[in-house]
């Protein structure tokens, strides 16, 4: 596996991100290793909060939340997914799968001996992290899910599946305005077709404008030029962007997706999960709208919890409502010890 490593000088003097780097080597699955970066802030004996980001961000997304959680006496662990941030970046899109991300972060979890943790996941951080929780339940005391899910699509007709496959195979690459129009007006009868626009655009767009895309999808505040550039920092050129390009295509949207059996096994765990479980979703995220409902209805530990619906914030609510979300998490930890 060929991998790229972003030079350290790309991460110097980023606005609001003074955190020292920490690294863990894990097996890459091909007789080599990958280096995973994480932030580790707060008291060593503090209750750990594992904060996992999604696509196409990195741990920089949590910079507003880390000081609030640390001030509450918590220890914050915020890793960068493989292919993102300061973590190593396999160079081929085909190197990335849902299962590999789970395997890489299971190794990271064990190597860092994370125990009695509160899990917080958004976007892909939720998909990967919830698998970690389900497969290592003894390491987690509580869960917070924010604008994420664990999809197990069932009942997608072969006609609908065939239409998605044909769209992704032969349609022209959507323009950015076409992509945003599709996401902003999802088809409730065929959600897999709406998401296929995102999958196709990311897979086929060689040089995704990371910072500009994130800046245009934040509600509640405006990124400065320096903050926008910080989201571009992990990617010196297009060759470093295989991870952000690949991961949307790993989201299971059709009934035959290879990750569905493992996700179903995870749901079997969560259907019996008695530990505290909190949903904190924004009210204006078109990607995950309604995604909190399965957790609230199915997870026993979610019953009676003070679930929060944050007003505004958009998909990247750690940017738009970061301090509010951090206080929700801190209060949840305090009230469920």
Just list the catalytic residues: 123, 285, 315
The pair of structure tokens assigned to 223 is 């990124």
Is the distance from CB of 78 to CB of 53 less than 8 angstroms?
A: yes
Alpha-carbon span 293 to 69, nearest angstrom: 26
- Alpha-carbon span 230 to 212, nearest angstrom: 11
Estimate the crossing angle of helix 176-184 against helix 191-204, to 10 degrees. 160
Collect contacts of 126-132 with beta carbons under 8 A, ≥24 apart: 126/52, 126/54, 126/150, 127/98, 127/151, 127/251, 128/52, 128/81, 128/98, 128/101, 128/102, 129/50, 129/52, 129/105, 130/266, 130/270, 131/102, 131/262, 131/263, 131/266, 132/102, 132/105, 132/106
Report the distance separating Cα 260 and Cα 247, nearest Å: 15
- Measured over the CA atoms of residue 173, residue 94, residue 88 and residue 3, the dihedral's sign is negative
Q: Up-side HSE of residue 44: CA atoms within 13 Å toward CB?
A: 2
């Amino acid at each position: 596996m060929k991998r790229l490593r972003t030079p350290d000088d790309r991460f110097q003097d980023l606005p609001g991100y003074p955190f020292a780097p920490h690294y863990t080597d894990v097996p890459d699955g091909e007789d080599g290793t990958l280096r995973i970066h994480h932030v580790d802030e707060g008291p060593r004996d503090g209750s750990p909060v594992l904060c996992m980001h999604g696509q196409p961000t990195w741990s920089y997304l949590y910079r507003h939340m880390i000081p609030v959680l640390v001030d509450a006496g918590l220890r914050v662990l915020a890793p960068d997914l493989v292919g993102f941030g300061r973590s190593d970046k396999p160079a081929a899109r085909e190197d990335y799968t849902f299962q590999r991300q789970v395997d890489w972060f299971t190794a990271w979890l064990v190597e860092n001996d994370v125990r009695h943790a509160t899990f917080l996941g958004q976007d892909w951080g939720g998909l990967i992290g919830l698998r970690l929780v389900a497969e290592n339940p003894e390491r987690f005391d509580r869960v917070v899910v924010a604008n994420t899910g664990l999809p197990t699509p069932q009942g997608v007709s072969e006609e609908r599946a065939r239409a998605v496959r044909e769209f992704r195979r032969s349609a022209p690459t959507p323009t950015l305005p076409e992509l945003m129009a599709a996401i902003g007006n999802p088809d409730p009868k065929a959600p897999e077709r709406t998401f296929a626009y995102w999958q196709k655009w990311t897979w086929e767009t060689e040089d995704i404008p990371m910072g500009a895309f994130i800046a245009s999808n934040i509600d509640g505040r405006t990124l400065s030029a320096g903050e926008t550039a910080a989201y571009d920092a992990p990617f010196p050129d297009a060759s470093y962007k295989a991870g952000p390009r690949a991961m949307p295509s790993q989201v299971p949207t059709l009934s035959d997706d290879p990750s569905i059996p493992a996700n179903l096994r995870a749901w079997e765990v969560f259907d019996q999960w008695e530990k505290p479980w909190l949903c904190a979703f924004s009210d204006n995220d078109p990607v995950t709208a309604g995604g909190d409902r399965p957790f609230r209805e199915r997870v026993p530990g979610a019953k009676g919890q003070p679930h929060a619906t944050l007003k505004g914030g958009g998909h990247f609510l750690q940017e738009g409502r970061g301090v509010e979300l951090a206080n929700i998490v801190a209060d949840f930890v305090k009230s469920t010890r």
